[in-house]
A and B are shown apart, each in its own frame.
Chain A
Amino acid sequence: MSTAIEIPYNSTERPDTGLYNAKLGVWLFLASEVMLFGALFSTYVLLRTGADTWEHGAEFLNVPLATINTMVLIFSSVTMVMSWASLKMKNFGKYKLYMGLTFLCGVAFLVIKSFEYAAKFEHHLLPSTSTFMALYFTMTGLHGLHVIGGMIVNGYLWGPGSKMWQTDPERFTNRVEVAGLYWHFVDLVWIFLFPTLYLLPGK
């Protein structure tokens, strides 16, 4: 990097706000993500209340697979926060283990998801089939893209990015915490998506 300049509060907190920069930054970003998924959920609400009939997701969506995926994501949230805790305890080996596990959980989630999608396409259940399916594919698809994004960041922090542990351990720990906040948010969205699409009764 070209910086001869040093941006303050990357590693330590600013006294009056109690925050380091990236933490404020990621929460601001998450606020925008709340608005994004909020708009999709409000689309669900609007289209559902305006419809005469609405599908009961459990009848043709794969609830067992999605339940497994829910557990996978929840588990990955634990491993993610454990990877940060390991860094706080100065245990880089454990960090690698937990972050690696988190990444693998992401892979598992996507693999299961791709089985789900493939089965839908086989049964000619496409986004164009109904507004329910349109919402299903759009909401889970956008969520899936966010999972991929998180995995790219986590992969970087597990691999080439982890070099920063040698030069600036506080800042690296903060980066992992920030990546963790994003990852937990992705889990949080799924916690709402899952019952909304798969479990709610139809009308």
Chain B
Amino acid sequence: MTEAHHHEEHHGELPFWRKYIFSTDHKVIGIQYGLTSLVFLFFGFSLMMLMRWQLAYPGKPLPIGFLVKWLGDSRMPGGIMAPEFYNQLGAMHGTIMVFLGVVPLAVGAFGNYIVPLQVGAQDMAFPKLNMSSYWVYFIGGVVMLCSFFVSGGSAQSGWTSYPPLSDVTPQSHSLFTGQSMWLTGMVFLITSSLLGSVNTITTIIQLRAKGLTWMRLPFFVWAQLVTGFLLLLAFPPLEAAGVMQLMDRMAGTSFFLPSGLVVGGKALNVSGGGSALLWQHLFWFLAHPEVYVLILPAMGIVAEVIANNTRKPLWGYKSLVYSVIFLGFMSFIVWAHHMFLTGMGTAINAFFQTTTMIISIPSIIILTALILSLWGGSIRFNVPMLFALAFLPMFGIGGLTGLPLGLASADIHLHDTYYVIGHFHYVVAPGTLFALFAGIYYWFPKASGKQMNETLGKWHFWGSLIFMNGIFLPMLIQGLAGVSRRLYDGGVSYLHAEHVLYLNKVMSHSAWALAVVQLIFIVNFFWSLFAGRKVTSDNPWEATTLEWATPTPPPHGNFLKIPEVYCGPYEYSAPGEDKDFHPQNEPYKKPGDQNNQEKR
């Protein structure tokens, strides 16, 4: 096709707002997603830090005067958290972390920035659509944040927004209630995701460079491809359900309101005939694939970092690819394991239990392949690799603790306890978030031309690892003891929680310590951007994949010369080569060599 025109100066003639604010360049958009999502992540974390005061010291006034004053009497009367505010914080913490934090970072930031580079393209397939996707996400985020400031506060029926509670909290036809704004925000976020996934999938299928066959794709790209399909096909039912809940709240319909419902002592004046379970089915139809959206890009990043820092190809590339495809498919038919306790019969419970057990197999295959990839490697313990290595046992714990939840009978005891919260946080926090940190430390030099500080990075790593376990391990213990989730008082009023209550303090102190450790990362990130050590090479990690075959940082159009691919993505330590890695875009000197490599 046409050669890349290196029109740096032409692109440089764009005004500031076209170059950095309303840019159609996937790298700028990726950075926009990245910075926005990191802010949301820290904000969502802050909500939880506030909650953890109430959980560790229930009924005691918060000793941060200016914060109490700013939050005001309706939220913190006398400095003590109001229960309604606790519920708001809980619902918004989940919503913000999942939809405004992790997914935009994993898919919007890393997906947008890295995928076109790794497939050898000059940009995404639809650059203008890409830009729109970011701004629609941004608007959705603003709507979500504004919901805190309307009368009655933000959404407070859990991130899961189960009706009838979410339909009637508060009872108002106004759009400017927290829950209705949550629904509106979700419509924006879902739209952004849908448009983004169309872009990602088309880019991967259509814009692969010459020679980049399917089985030569970096695993990160495979992961993003499957993730794209999950977002594309699983989100719309939630969008439909969101519209219906908005209709319930604002137009007085009864999609989710059964007949004869009494709220606050008064019978509801609605037609009835609806089904609260319908919401749960449609919500979880998305929300289960959503958790694979949270983990798949992370697995992709870990795969890249491990291959690079063991100086050997990934073990079982084919198994990884087939597993991730099978995982994506299965993720659509496991959702009702979130609904084992809703009164479904044994047949349907058995069905979903079976599919849930089956889906653990590809997960285990992927984790095992990544672990086996370490065997015989020349491991470099740099900061990205530390995070990638820690991901393995942490995701292992997260995944294994999911198994009892997927068994309907065990779930009777564990459903809606802290065990569930411990399980999913293990997967997302020292799981996905660690992988995302690995990705930031790994690709930071390419995107900025500077190195992040290794020492600060190691402090960030060890502190995060220790304190994350300090927060989430006790949750597993409390959950097994029967402590319910979403309890305003953290279990104080329940006899069975008495002997594990002290863990609330352990968790809260760990959470606050974790926040302090993140400050190290924030300082490192910005300081390195402006005053960090400059990289001396376009490929400082000596990696094989195409994103390293660009100038640093990559210009508009990415490649000085459109790359052609000659080998697989992890040709490290191939015999007979003069260096321990063979970049994908480097031709082979002798015609026979190429076949020798790919036979491995």
Contacts and interface: CB of A to CB of B under 8 A. Distances in A.
Do A and B bind?
yes
B247 A25 contact: no
Contacts of B275: 46-47, 50
B278 A47 contact: yes
A127 B201 contact: no
B251 A127 contact: yes
A28 interface: yes
B202 A21 contact: yes
Interface in B170-205: 194, 197-199, 201-202, 205
Contacts of A129: 271
Given A2-B11, A5-B123, A134 B557 contact: no
A51 interface: yes
B206 A134 contact: no
B237 A3 contact: no
B235 interface: yes
Given A2-B24, A39-B282, A138-B244, A29 B251 contact: no
29 contacts: A1-B24, A2-B14, A2-B18, A2-B19, A4-B5, A4-B6, A4-B11, A5-B122, A5-B557, A6-B5, A14-B206, A17-B206, A21-B206, A21-B207, A24-B201, A25-B202, A28-B201, A35-B235, A36-B236, A39-B241, A40-B240, A43-B282, A50-B273, A127-B251, A128-B252, A128-B253, A128-B270, A131-B271, A134-B247
Given A7-B123, A38-B236, 20 more contacts: A2-B25, A5-B5, A5-B556, A6-B1, A6-B5, A6-B122, A7-B207, A8-B1, A24-B202, A25-B198, A29-B194, A36-B240, A39-B282, A39-B285, A43-B282, A128-B253, A131-B253, A131-B255, A131-B271, A138-B253
B134 to A, nearest CB: 16
A114 interface: no
B233 A35 contact: yes
Contacts of B18: 2
Size range of the chain B interface in the assembly: 35 or more
Interface string B274-291: 110010001001000000
A60 interface: no
A47 B255 contact: yes
A6 to B, nearest CB: 5
A142 B246 CA distance: 13
A4 B557 CA distance: 8
Nearest to A9: B206
A201 B25 CA distance: 54
A91 interface: no
A19 interface: yes
Interface string A140-175: 001000000000000000000000000000000000
Nearest to A33: B236
A38 B241 CA distance: 11
Nearest to A138: B247
B26 to A, nearest CB: 10
B7 interface: yes
A25 B240 contact: no
Nearest to A26: B198
Nearest to B24: A2
A32 B233 contact: yes
A190 to B, nearest CB: 17
Given A4-B5, A35-B236, A47-B274, A28 B207 contact: no
B599 interface: no
A4 B253 contact: no
Contacts of A1: 24
A141 to B, nearest CB: 9
Given A51-B273, A134-B253, A39 B123 contact: no
A43 B273 CA distance: 12
Interface string A34-70: 0111111001001100110000000000000000000
